[in-house]
Structure 1
Amino acid sequence: MKNAIVDPTVHLHTQVVSAHGQQYGENVHYVPVVAEELRQLIVEYPCCLLKNNQTGQFGLHALLGFTPGENLFLSGEQWCANAIPMHIQRQPFMVGRVGERNEMTNQQKSLLTIDMNSNRVKDSSYNKGDGKRLFDDKGTPTDYLKTMNQLVTTLAQGIIRTESFIKALVEHDLIEAIQVGVTFTGGEKHKFDGLYVINEANLSSLDEAILVEFHRNGYLQACHLLSASMSNLQKLIVLKNEQLSAN
């Protein structure tokens, strides 16, 4: 990965492809999300907590498939869902921080960077309609670049708040592991481990003072949204069965 600070003197003619597809690294079976986007995402995806086997830390994710490399929402160059996780939308941009790690990111304390090795990044010779310029001929940021700058800033802020949310879940023993059994077309059965959800019994047993704090911080709503989203596992099964039938 070669990250470069977005600069009109360097990227005046740089374009970014806005299409979707495996060639852009979107053939993944889960993607990190932040708590603030759960309200939009739960209409499409099952969202849960996954544990990093190396660090032991939990992360919030949307499930896109059942096996590595399988994105059931991806069909050619189309992402077949009304809501797309911000982590996917922001590609190939990232935010470079200015200041301490635990400080809240804003556009005054961040720099927009771009992965120049991404297949999405093209030069002036790219002439397809899905290429988005970062700057106009005068070096003024385009509306597309302004939108991406706001998106990565929002995402960076959301990552910090989501880490605090997960820390609170761990502190109050609100995370539990589940095993999901699935039967696909043809009778093929699979069991999936490593998924973590909200322990609703422990959530309902929280002291009133803690519940008030959870409500004030938006954690209570996020817990309920997470729990509700798991009903979309059935949607994933339907998508998988449709794929199996087509093959």
Structure 2
Amino acid sequence: MSKYEMLNNVAHADLKIRLDRAAELGDDVMFCMTYPFEFRLVLSHYPILVYRDKDAQSAFPVALFGFEEGENLFLSGSSGWNARYIPIMVQRQPFSIGFQQVQGSSDKQQVITFNPAHPRVNREVGESVFNEYGGYTPYLDQVVKMLESIDTGHEQNRRLIEALDKYNLLEESTIAITLKDGTNYELVGFSTIADDRFEALSAEALDDLNKQKLLLPITMIMASMSNLGNLVDMRNAALG
């Protein structure tokens, strides 16, 4: 497991982050967590599924990029990531939110941390994190905004999953994919929203979801499933 360091403008004065997109920079991922605040952008390219991490006993929405571990169909060796939007959990790499003990208090405060072993991290090429005076660069300002959004997004995801479970809308299923060469893939551990259960919701349930500002995110998850066929087409095109 990677050890994160707290970012500071003395030890990391000359830190740079590569922003190009490539498998060797950690973009070769099959899926990543996503959040309701970005669903409108995510569904323009990616299927949104719910992944249940049985080890962590948690569930969260994810944007799907491929059909097997290490496959990202949106990556190209020549043109990088071929989509207008990249989910925020990918964009924020190698940074994360950490916590530091407040001196003389039992309270903890949020701090910016980063993974020094991440392949994007270096001191020669890429976007500078600090300027010559030790202040934040526009790039780091953008990272801070992303991390703040992610922090808010975790609460949105919690409420979303609670609502989906409350109204029994999630349907765990094995998604079977067959390519033109006869290769079969089975996506296991993912859930989709059951159309029939959603259509059968009472007016009271729909009103409750709407008041929680969850009705639109749920319908966007459902609409995003049309992108599954696009991923199959992309995988078939790669076969030649």
- Compute the TM-score of the two structures, normalised by the length of structure 1: 0.87
Note if contact 1:46-1:232 (Cα within 8 Å) is conserved in structure 2: yes
Kindly provide the CA deviation profile for residues 54-86 of structure 1, in whole angstroms up to 9, marking residues without a partner as x.
Answer: 244322111110111111011126011111010
- Which is further off, 213-222 or 183-192? 183-192
Name the counterpart of 1:11. Answer: 12
Kindly provide the CA deviation profile for residues 191-247 of structure 1, in whole angstroms up to 9, marking residues without a partner as x.
Answer: 4333311122222333323322211222111111001101001110111011111xx
Note if contact 2:209-2:215 (Cα within 8 Å) is conserved in structure 1: yes
Aligned equivalents of 1:191, 1:61: Cα separation in 2: 17
Q: Does 1:195 align with 2:196?
A: no
State how many pairs are aligned: 232
Name the counterpart of 2:49. Answer: 48
Aligned equivalents of 1:239, 1:188: Cα separation in 2: 14
Q: 1:146 aligns with which of 141, 144, 159?
A: 141
Q: 1:83 aligns with which of 80, 85, 91?
A: 85
Equivalences for residues 20-39 of structure 1 within 5 A: 20-39=21-40
Task: Please give the secondary structure, in 2, of the residue aligned with 1:182.
Answer: strand
Amino acid in structure 2 at the alignment position of 1:144:
Y
Aligned equivalents of 1:190, 1:2: Cα separation in 2: 34
Aligned equivalents of 1:182, 1:119: Cα separation in 2: 32
Q: Does 1:166 align with 2:167?
A: no
Name the counterpart of 1:105. Answer: none
Name the counterpart of 1:120. Answer: 120
- Compute the TM-score of the two structures, normalised by the length of structure 2: 0.90
- Which is further off, 143-152 or 183-192? 183-192
Q: How much does 1:109 deviate? A: 5.1
Amino acid in structure 2 at the alignment position of 1:188:
T
Q: 2:204 aligns with which of 196, 202, 209?
A: 209
Name the counterpart of 2:178. Answer: 183
Q: How much does 1:9 deviate? A: 1.4
Name the counterpart of 1:92. Answer: 94
Identity, % of aligned positions: 26
Task: Please give the secondary structure, in 1, of the residue aligned with 2:10.
Answer: helix
Amino acid in structure 2 at the alignment position of 1:116:
P
Aligned equivalents of 1:2, 1:51: Cα separation in 2: 25
Q: Does 1:134 align with 2:135?
A: no
- Which is further off, 30-39 or 139-148? 30-39
Name the counterpart of 1:224. Answer: 219
Q: How much does 1:177 deviate? A: 2.1
Kindly provide the CA deviation profile for residues 131-153 of structure 1, in whole angstroms up to 9, marking residues without a partner as x.
Answer: 11111111111000000011011
Equivalences for residues 229-240 of structure 1 within 5 A: 229-240=224-235
Note if contact 1:110-1:153 (Cα within 8 Å) is conserved in structure 2: no
Gaps of 5+ in 1: 100-107
Equivalences for residues 67-82 of structure 1 within 5 A: 67-76=68-77, 78-82=80-84
Q: How much does 1:157 deviate? A: 1.0
Name the counterpart of 1:104. Answer: none
Note if contact 2:17-2:122 (Cα within 8 Å) is conserved in structure 1: yes
Note if contact 1:97-1:111 (Cα within 8 Å) is conserved in structure 2: yes
